[in-house]
Structures are given as C-alpha cells and as structure tokens.
Structure 1
Amino acid sequence: MTTPVLNHPVPTGREEEWRFTPMRRLRGLHDGTAKGDGKVVVSVDAGEGVTVETVGRDDPRVGKVGAPTDRVAEAAFSAVQTATVVTVPQELEPGPTVITVRGEDADGAAFGHIVIDVKPFAVATVVLDHLGSATYAGTVEVHVGDSANLTLVSVQDWADDAVHLAHQRISLGRDAKVKAIAVTFGGNLVRLYPQVHYTAQGGDAEMLGLYFADAGQHLEHRLRIDHTVPNCRSNVAYKGALQGEKAHTVWIGDVIIGAEATGTDTYELNRNLLLTDGASADSVPNLEIYTGEVAGAGHASATGRFDDEQLFYLQSRGIPEDEARRMVVRGFFGEIIGRIGVPIVQTRLLQKIDAELAKTLN
C-alpha cells in the first residue's frame, strides 16, 4: 500500500498514548509498513426501517464527527475508499441492527469505516460484531441526534491470531443519550479508543466495558470524554478478568471538563480481577477539571487477586470448586452484564465467561 501523508508522526511507544501498547505486535499498522491486501467483509442485518448504504469517502456524512486523533486511525481513514452508512430515521424505534465485521485471514492488513447516524427522537440498538482472523484498523463515527437514544454494543470476539485497532468517535446532540458497551474476549491484540463529544446541553453518555484476557493476550481500552458544554453527564464502568501467563489488560479513562462545561456530572470506575499468577493489569483514571461549578466528578480503580475466602465459603456449603469459581466471577461481572439491556448479548457473554473459565479449570 502507498503510505499517505499524515498529520500524526509514527509512534515509537514512548508517547503517553502508546506507552502500554506492544508496538512490535501491531504488524505495521502504525508505521505504514502493513500490506493492505487483507480482506474483511462487512454485512448488516438491519432492523425494520433502518437504511444501509455503501458510499464513497467523499460522501458528506463521512468524517462529519471529526478527524481521527491518532496515527493508526488517520492511516486507516486515509486508506478506505468506501464506507458503510447505517441510518436510523427520525422518531423510529426499530429492532436491533447487527453489523458483522468478519476477517478472512490475518496475513494482510485491512481497513474500514462505519458511520452510524441516529436521527432525532429515534431509539436504536446497534451491535458491532467482530469475528474471524484479521489485521484490521477501523474507524467508526456515531451521530446521535437531538433527544435520540442509542445503545451501541461493540463485541470483539476475534480468532486468536487477530490484531484490531479501532477508533470510535461519538457525537451527542441536545438531550441525546448513548449507552456504549465494549465487550472484548478474542484476538491476539485489541486496542479500542472510543471518544465522546457533546454538541449541546443535556447529553448523557454511559460507557460500559467487559473484557477477559487469556495467556499472551493484550487487551487495551482507552477512553476519552470531552465535556465542552454545560449540563451534560457521563458515567464509565469497565470490569476485566485475566488469567494465564502474560495476559495483559490496559484501561485508560480520560475525562476532561472544560471551563465552559458547568453543571457536569461524571464518574468513572475500573475493576480488574486476576485469576492466576503471571497476569497483569494497568488501570489509569484521569480527571481534568477546569471549572469549579460541577454537579459531581470522581473516579475509582482497583486491581486484585481472586478472593480465596469467597471460594472457601462456597465450597464449605457443598458447592464444587469449579462451580464456586464460576459463581464468583459471574458475580464480579454481574453489575455490567445487568446494565447492558440487550438479552442476546447478555446470554452470549455468560456463555463466553463460562468458556473462558473452563480453560483454567481444565
């Protein structure tokens, strides 16, 4: 592939935004050496009334939310010639729309761009489902119109050899609401970078995440929420479990409250559960406040080992060890799963958690 002229320099891994990412495992997605001959197929099962289009990159809806803010996202956006645009019409409340992104092999790199446009007063659920083998850099932009309500679920259930870097830009209109849920189990290396931007008062962003890392996996979730207008809300809650040698997770939560963003109410939480030795989790909540007139602002982070006392308590009441361990981990994730509100996703998550735990128990 021909390397385009980009605004962002090639990252070295010493930059703050890249310091946790193993650069040598990115397969050239960051420095222009990746060969763009991979294949990723996007298919959409749309809810009734939802429109799906494939458009050229010169379509005015592409790039409307804003330019990518890191090198990989900029390179991916520069490489794509077409985009998938999913539009939910005004005041419509359709059934769930599922966008499947399926990789066919991981040898060559692939790039993609998806636009999700939820018109004013619509209520929608959109699931982004990532499957198969791929070396994939994708950009997603989401428009949530005035008084619209979107539940957006991004599932990373890749094969073990996949590398996936994603940049998600979410724009909220007046009194708009988004519940953005990240679920990451598969892949060799996955790095998600969702950003939220408010365009008018009353915006409400709920960012939920659940991840489970096995031996050798690197799963990284880096969030940024920019409060630039008054009287908006954000709430972040991510939980992760790790097991196996060199299982590694990274969670970064950046919340910025500008001087003009009076009345902001925000909180962010990250919890990590280490199930075995040899796993490590990095958790960095950041809160920058430039006004003294906020409704609330706080953060919390904790990483700990599996609670043997809980396990002993359950076993002492006749519950077998494997079932007791499953109950403790399900309980740890229960708060997040209960808040997802999409039954088909919740059932799938519980099945994946049980499958992950079976690897350790066996």
Structure 2
Amino acid sequence: MTTPVTPVTPVGNATTHNNKGDLFQSFDVADFPVPSGRDEVWRFVSLRRLRGLHTGEFAQQAPAQVRIDGPSNVIVEQVPASDERLRVAGGPVDRVAAQAWSAAEHGTIITVPADAVLDAPIVVTVTGAGLDATTFATILVETGAHSQATVIVRYEGSGTHADNVNWNIGEGSHVNAVVDTEWARDTVHVGQQSIRVERDATLRHTVAAFGGEIVRLTPRVTFAAPGGDVELSGVYFADAGQYIENRMLVDHSVPNCRSNVLYKGALQGDKNSGLPEARTCWVGDVLIRAAATGTDTYETNRNLVLTDGARADAVPNLEIETGEIAGAGHAATVGRFDEEQLFYLRSRGIPEGEATRLIIRGFFNEVLNHIPVESVRDELIARVAGELEQNNN
C-alpha cells in the first residue's frame, strides 16, 4: 500500500521546504508584501522607525552619492539597473532590498582584473543626501580569477538609505572586505549583501557598525564550487536611541567549503535620555545542504551589556542535512563583562573605569586585529575607545 503524499503549502516568500537558503528572490518590489512586525525576519526591528523604506512611503528620493577610489587597473563602470551582470550574486529576499533595486536608476560595477594583485585598497564611499532625502544604490564588486584585493565600503553623512552591495569572488581570488557604517546618528540604513564564492576563493568580510539611528545589514553567502573559504566577522556598539541588526546566512550547497562567523557587540543605554533603549540583534543562519559533504563551519556571537537600558538579542541557527561533514557548531552569549578580570586589574592598582575600558578593548580586538588595513584598524580601535570614554562620562 502506498502512503499518499500530503501537499505542503509554502509560507510567504519561501520554498515548500521552508529552507532559509531558498527564500523567494525578486528584483521587483511589487512581488513582496509589505512586512509586519509578525514576520520573523522583521520581528526585532521597529518598522515605524524605517521611515517608509518597507512601505514605499519614504521621503523624496535623491541620487545616491557613490565615490570609488582605487588603483588604476581597477575597472569602474556605471551601468543601467537592468544590466544582467549586476544580478550574478543573487537577488533581493525582502521588500526593502527589492525597493532599493527597483528605485535605483543605475548600478556600479567594480572589477578587479584576473591575476591582479592590488597595491592599495579600493575605497567605496557612500554619502547620505540629508535627513529629508532617501537614496538607493546597487553596487557589484567582482574579482577576477587568482586576483588579490582589499575593498573598503564606507558610509558617511545623514539620510535614509537602502542598497544592495553584492560580491562575486572569482576562482582562486583572495579578498579582504571591510564595511564601515560611519553614519551620523540620525541615519536609517537597510542593506543586503549577496556574496557568491567561486572555486578555491577566499573572502574575509568584516562589518563595523557604530553610527546611525537604525542600521540593518543582511549578508548572504553562497558557494558556487568546492574549496571556498569565508570568514564573516563584525563589531558593533549601540548607544541609547540606536538599533543595530546583523542578520546573515551562510549557505553550504557544495562539498568541501569552510566558513567561520565571529561577531562581537557592546551596548550602553541611558534611561534618562528620553531616547529608545539601545538595542542590537544578531541572527546567524548556517545551512549545510545534503550535497555539502566535507563542510567545516562555526559561528560565534558575543555581546556585552554595559548598562541598564540596553538589550541584545542573539539567535544562532544551524541546519544540517548531511552527517558527512568535517565539523559544525555555534555559540552565542549576552551578559556583563568578566568580574574576575575586573577584580584582577583593580588588584593591580588600575582604577575601575580604566580597567573596564581595557577589558572591553580586548574583547573587540579579537575581531579588529584581523583587519588587514592598518589605518582602518587603528581608526576603529580609536572609535571603540571613544565609545568607552562616553560611557565613563
């Protein structure tokens, strides 16, 4: 006797298997319903603070200000938004990313030639158009086979901004990427990053999120062939009135690839400021499909809550469809800093305030010390110190 198969009704914007790696994708904003706070992927952020990016009722659109600086052998093209090359890394999986794609009048393609070894970083600077304006951008960074490059994407100024910054990491290439959201404190930014990794390619991707009122970044990694090696790392620091969300997916669909995720964050609130509480959210999804034998992956998120009036959410998710892997695991913590470390430093004559700052700097340095560009690394270390001085005052 054959058991009848019960039809499966798919949930909105997902496959019949509810696989997070197979979320519905579209470049047309009209294909996505307006999200609500009951939707899982939007449940942490306050939608009313997104200034209409999710509904289409945003302030007047202004042209995106994108400046590219880099070595002379890097190719920079401004192309129509319909250029198929922009779509190589994947499409939007939520309404805001699709809105950014639909509204952008053109895209920017940055190409590193095959076999090129860049002697200086490529710096992409995105500047907000002001508090009363909304900007959208589409950017693709594409590295040729066996090339080596460092790419810094820096955000500055004020405004409301949504974008798709995508990466196509060519065969055997080695890329260091730094995404620095150095926005003014009144800025809202929602960004998706689709990352496609070719055979034997290496990507080191670091996010630094300190500025902005609302910053929500969603990197999504797919492996196109075996041998890919990806590390996603990040640091973030939220004060009263700030909300910072890092939501990522690493989709292992082919054999013998490696990934490692390490994000660290700190929060400090002020109940007397009249501002919303400081909040952060980290969601790490790792999917190992049935064909992805030999996968080696781990993800870690650590959060320090420095004061009252602050809240951190940490949600690691690991989905495994095959047991033939090298290893997989995850860890996430939210808590105060180590009181034993503080006691040790104070017992050596170090004042409590300075001891606290030393502990937190050490907490972040595990991530920051991996940034290959010394000037960027030093700047971020100084920014952490500035946040801690503010907390001490």
- Pairwise TM-score range, normalised by the shorter structure: over 0.9
**Structural mapping, 1:259-338, within 5 Å:** 259-338=290-369
Percent identity, aligned pairs only, is 50
Question: How far did 1:313 drift?
Answer: 2.3
C-alpha displacement of 1:39 = 4.8
Q: 2:155, 2:182 within 8 Å by CA — same for their partners in 1?
A: yes
Output the CA distance in 1 between the equivalents of 2:355 and 2:72. 43
Q: Which amino acid aligns with 2:319?
A: E
Whether the 8 Å CA contact 2:60–2:132 is kept in 1: the answer is no
Query: Following TM superposition, by how much is the alpha carbon of 1:307 offset from its aligned partner in structure 2, in angstroms?
Result: 3.0
User: Which whole-Å CA distance do the structure 1 matches of 2:342 and 2:112 have between them?
Assistant: 47
Q: Quick check: 2:29–2:95 contact (8 Å CA) kept in 1?
A: no
Amino acid at match of 1:341: P
Paired with 2:352 and 2:74, the residues of 1 have a C-alpha distance of: 47
Q: Indicate the residue corresponding to 2:18 in structure 1.
A: none
Deviations 1:287-343 (A, max 9, x none): 000111111000000111133432232123222333222211111112111222221
Tell me if 1:33 matches 2:57.
yes
The answer on 1:88 being equivalent to 2:128 is no
Q: Out of 158, 162, 167, which is 1:137 matched to?
A: 162
Task: Decide whether the 8 Å contact of 2:248 with 2:283 is kept in 1.
Answer: yes
Secondary structure (helix, strand or coil) at the match of 1:259 reads coil
SS in 1 for 2:131: strand
The CA deviation string for residues 66-90 of structure 1, in whole angstroms up to 9 with x for no partner, is 2211110011101111111111000
Deviations 1:152-197 (A, max 9, x none): 1100110010000000000011001111111000000000000001
Which residue number in structure 2 is paired with residue 109 of structure 1? 134
Q: Distance in 2 between matches of 1:58 and 1:278?
A: 46
**Contact 1:163–1:189 under 8 Å retained in 2:** yes
Amino acid in structure 2 at the alignment position of 1:286 = N
| 8 Å contact kept, 2:29–2:102 | no
Alignment correspondent of 2:9: none
Which one is further off, 14-23 or 46-55?
A: 46-55
- Structure 1 residue 282: Cα displacement: 0.1
Say whether the 8 Å CA contact 1:109–1:134 is kept in structure 2.
yes
Aligned length: 359
What is the alpha-carbon distance in structure 1 between the residues aligned to residue 159 and residue 136 of structure 2?
Answer: 10
Q: Which amino acid aligns with 1:26?
A: L
Partner AA of 1:37 in structure 2: Q
Check conservation: 1:106, 1:162, Cα contact below 8 A. yes
- Structure 1 pair 96/5, CA: closer, same or farther in 2 (3 Å)? closer
TM-score when scaled to structure 1? 0.97
8 A Cα contact 2:127 2:155, kept in partner? yes
- The letter of the residue matching 2:83 is D
Unaligned runs of 5+ in 1: none
Are 1:74 and 2:98 an aligned pair? yes
Q: 1:5 to 1:332 in 2, by over 3 A?
A: closer
**CA contact under 8 A between 1:90 and 1:119: conserved in structure 2?**
yes
Matches within 5 A, 1:234-249: 234-245=259-270, 246-249=277-280
Does residue 18 of the first structure (1) align with residue 42 of the second (2)?
yes
Write the distance in 1 (CA, Å) between the matches of 2:29 and 2:161: 20
Asked whether the 8 Å contact 2:112–2:144 carries over to 1, the reply is yes
User: More strand by proportion, 1 or 2?
Assistant: 1
Q: CA deviation at 1:201?
A: 0.5
2: CA distance between counterparts of 1:5 and 1:144?
Answer: 27
Aligned amino acid, residue 218 of structure 1 = Y
Per-residue deviation, 1:5: 5.3
**TM-score scaled by structure 2?**
0.89
Choose from 50, 54, 73 the match for 1:49: 73
Tell me the residue number matched to 1:360: 391
Shift of 1:60: 2.8
Amino acid at match of 2:281: V
Paired residue type of 2:350: I
Alignment-mate amino acid for residue 349 of structure 2: G
Q: Which AA in structure 1 matches 2:95? A: R
Residue 200 in 1 paired to residue 225 in 2?
Answer: yes
* Runs (4+) off by over 4 Å: none
2:146 aligns with: 121
- More deviation in 255-264 or 321-330? 321-330
Taking the TM superposition and a 5 Å limit, the aligned residue runs for 1:136-155 are: 136-155=161-180
Specify the SS of the correspondent of 1:351. Answer: helix
Q: Secondary structure at the match of 1:11?
A: coil
Aligned-residue CA RMSD (Å): 1.2
Contact 1:38 1:105 in 2 (8 A): no
